[in-house]
Structure 1
């Protein structure tokens, strides 16, 4: 049985989905990532995004800067890479390191985007926090482990 959703969760820097997490020179925490809507709903072709999530030094959510690029099959990959690289550059001097941040959700482009808590389905299940859309990173207790499932 799980104790409930986290107030904060840790994400350790790695060479995969958490390649660009860390702190800016002024102490803010950041997470640059590529959420995606796989387009599994009727009439939905999906959507690829570049998302920069910013948090204060204590891990409180500040803002989300999100760019949309349309379905993976037809997106302009060069434009998506340029947006990703530009978001990283706009942070200035950064240190790639572990971050400890709060879950959050924002609505953009008709999609809920963020680190979203998911309640257990039953008493034997546990709380999860997943990156949405795309559910490509999933966190569970212990919330301070810094690890995630893909």
Structure 2
């Protein structure tokens, strides 16, 4: 078993609410990762991940908001909505993208592939930070665990 070349993510009304394609064919994933912490101490982020039409990672636009207990939720919502507007006309639909990782603010972000715990276990692709979406075979199912 090995890491997947591409992972499908179906558009839904939960963590994958804002996945799809831009008018020029790029794929995107707009999400709100977080660093887990005790109580309200973990950092909150808005992340826009961009991919080419074939699913190769192009760029990450990530905004940091600090610990959950001290963020301004209206400011985070405004930044989230601004990132969505920056994409222009979009279609919310299934995307198929390659695992990737990028460092920013001293944190690793991305859809990170990792082998299973045992030799015969399947690989996983996890959305970090926060690991709030986890994908496993079949890679084209578009479904994830939370």
What TM-score range do you get, normalising by the shorter chain? over 0.9
CA drift at 1:105: 0.4
Q: TM-score, normalised by structure 1?
A: 0.94
Structure 2 residue aligned with 1:16, among 8, 14, 17? Answer: 14
CA distance in 2, matches of 1:25, 1:55: 13
- Which residue is 1:86 aligned to? 82
State the aligned residue count. 145
- Which residue is 2:47 aligned to? 51
Structure 2 residue aligned with 1:74, among 66, 70, 74? Answer: 70
CA distance in 2, matches of 1:124, 1:100: 25
CA drift at 1:46: 1.6
- Which residue is 2:34 aligned to? 36
CA distance in 2, matches of 1:124, 1:115: 22
Runs (4+) off by over 3 Å: none
RMSD between superposed Cα atoms in Å: 1.2
Q: What runs of 5+ residues in structure 2 fail to find an aligned partner?
A: none
Q: How does 1:89-104 map to 2 (within 5 A)?
A: 89-104=85-100
CA drift at 1:110: 0.5
CA drift at 1:119: 1.1
CA distance in 2, matches of 1:53, 1:138: 16
CA drift at 1:125: 2.2
Structure 1 residue aligned with 2:61, among 56, 59, 65? Answer: 65
Structure 2 residue aligned with 1:144, among 130, 135, 140? Answer: 140
Q: TM-score, normalised by structure 2?
A: 0.96
Deviations 1:88-112 (A, max 9, x none): 0000000000000000000000100
Q: Secondary structure in 2 aligned to 1:69?
A: strand
CA distance in 2, matches of 1:15, 1:120: 28
